[in-house]
Amino acid sequence: MKLKTLALVCASAATVAMFSSNVLAATEVNFWYSGGTKPQKMMNELIAEFNASQDQYVVKGALQGNYSETYQKLQAGLASKTAPELVLLDSGRAVAMHNRGLSRDLTSFMDAEFNFSDFIGAFKDQVTAEDGSVIGLPAYGTTQVFYYNKQVLADNGFTEKDLSTWQGVAKVAEKVTQRDAKGDVTFYGWEPMWGADNLIDAAFSNGAKIISDDGKTVLIDSAQWVEVWDSFRKWIHDDQIMRIHYGGQGWEYWYKTIDDVMKDKALGYTGSSGDQGDLDFTKLSATTQPGWGSHPAAPQAGALVYVMPKGTDDLAAKGAFEFVEFYTNAKNTAAWSMFTGYIPVRNSVSEVSEYQEFTQQNPQALIPLKQANTATKDFLDPTNGQIMDALKLAADQVQIQNVPAEKALQQAAKRAQRALDRANRS
């Protein structure tokens, strides 16, 4: 009996020792990311699931304040050789990392089973450099779509088709806008989101370009840009059939815009695909952004990108890629999309039964995916953000200060051209 007990003790000790050895042998993979409440929750669940699925790697996630803060901290980490093996960045900063030679080319990590061609075209293009190297992998996509009160639209004699061009949107907005006895607006026809993004999307849908195909000339003061941006200025300031919320702390302006639609103060607004978790679709419906006149819609679709910095441990980098592969498989990208409202990154998501059922019950979830498949990829600023900064300043002048678009965009074009000339000389 004592011998049997002793044998059991020895066996248990051996099991514990083996378990401890496996834990100690696991390679640590450091991962920096940011995101809202729902993305944070989902990310923690996927990290835990990956860690439990194998014993070779342990991913340790570290939440950062936002994408800008992540990138700034990453620069310090690269300088001190304490950078993580994996980091989540927006596509512009992912390209900046590649251009500075600071990120790994991920093609060497891929095999045929990974099936890179399965990634949605607009997102795949954003992470594929001109030389064919893959600068990162799309984590999830985002694009701005239309959300509107379907009952108000119907009560005024319109259908979703009437929102298929910006001229149609203006016509609808004029009809549904309500004013009190003093002439003050009590119900707005539409609320574009503050900032340059909506205005850029609409300009792209008028055939506009930011720079010439040869990369030498800034085009943001062309007739296509001026027509679109001055139309928005007129709708906001002169006609007062649209409005924007701006300023405040953090995302305050964004949630004020959503509240106006949810609390019957506006017909609809232009917002992120990630807003869907905050909206009531018994009341609202969603549709793609409109075209401009006879031009088809061409809004941007961007991706948040998993980037693997250079100079980190090779074995840990292999673990980082295995986590990314796990995260981006069809099942998990479907789960991410269903929970957060962001766009899944693989076309094969359509084969996931849970996603099929979810989108049948929630058809609005397919709108961002539909738009992403025909969208313009996010503009990657060759001046390290100076062209976009010029556009943001011009957007504020047009949206907030009622400055004529031609004047605002000409000033912006001069600043942007100087920045582009410097970038081309360097």
Does pLDDT of 424 surpass 80? yes
What the block records as the tokens of 64 is: 């950062």
Alpha carbons 343 and 402: distance in angstroms, whole number: 34
* Percent of the chain surpassing pLDDT 90: 75
Residue with token string 């410097």: 422
pLDDT at 4: 43
For position 299, what pLDDT does the model report? Answer: 94
Dist. CA 44–CA 12, nearest whole Å: 32
Domains of the chain by start residue, with CATH: 22-135+302-374 (3.40.190.10), 144-299+379-425 (3.40.190.10)
Q: What is the pLDDT of residues 212-235, one digit of tens each?
A: 999 999 999 999 999 999 999 999
Mean pLDDT (the chain, rounded) = 91
The first and second tokens of residue 396, run together, are 């504020």
Q: Using an 8 Å Cβ cutoff, are 177 and 184 in contact?
A: no
Judge whether residue 204 has pLDDT over 90. yes
Output the DSSP codes for 280-300: -TTTEEEEPPPBBTTBPP--E
The residues facing 27 across adjacent strands are 57
Q: At 218, list the tokens.
A: 């800034």
Structure tokens at 366: 């397919």
Identify the band that residue 7 occupies on the pLDDT scale cut at 50, 70 and 90.
very low
Q: How many helices (H) and strands (E) does the chain have?
A: 16, 10
Return the H-helix or E-strand segment holding 301.
strand 300-307
Report the alpha-carbon distance of residue 123 to residue 351 in Å, rounded. Answer: 19
328-338 confidence digits (pLDDT tens): 999 999 999 99
| pLDDT, tens digit, 9 for 90 and up, residues 256-289 | 999 999 999 999 999 998 888 789 999 999 999 9
pLDDT > 90? residue 298: yes
Using the predicted structure, report yes or no on whether residue 394 has a pLDDT greater than 60: yes
Whether the model pTM is above 0.85: no
Q: How many CB atoms lie within 10 A of CB 16?
A: 10
Cα dihedral: 308, 322, 335, 201 (round 10): 30
Percent of the chain with pLDDT over 70: 94
At residue 278, the pLDDT reads 81
How far, in Å, CA of 376 to CA of 175, rounded?
Answer: 31
**Residue 352, CA distances (Å) to 153, 341, 363, 385 in order:** 34, 16, 15, 38
Name the pairing type of β-strands 27-33 and 300-307. Answer: unpaired
- pLDDT tens track for 154-182: 999 999 999 999 999 999 999 999 999 99
Kind and range of the H or E run holding 205 = none
Residue 24: predicted pLDDT? 57
- Tens digit of pLDDT for each residue in 124-147? 988 999 899 999 999 998 899 999
Which residues, 6+ apart, have CB-to-CB distance to 116 below 8 Å? 110, 124, 134
Q: Which residues on neighbouring strands pair with residue 119, listed in sequence order?
A: 346
Helix axes 405-425, 223-233, angle to 10 degrees: 140
Give the residue, 131 or 403, on which the prediction is more confident. 403
The single-letter code of the amino acid at 310 is K
Dist CA 181 CA 24 (whole Å): 74
Report the length, in residues, of the chain.
426
Q: How far apart are CA 5 and CA 97, in angstroms?
A: 60
pLDDT band (50, 70, 90) for residue 123:
confident
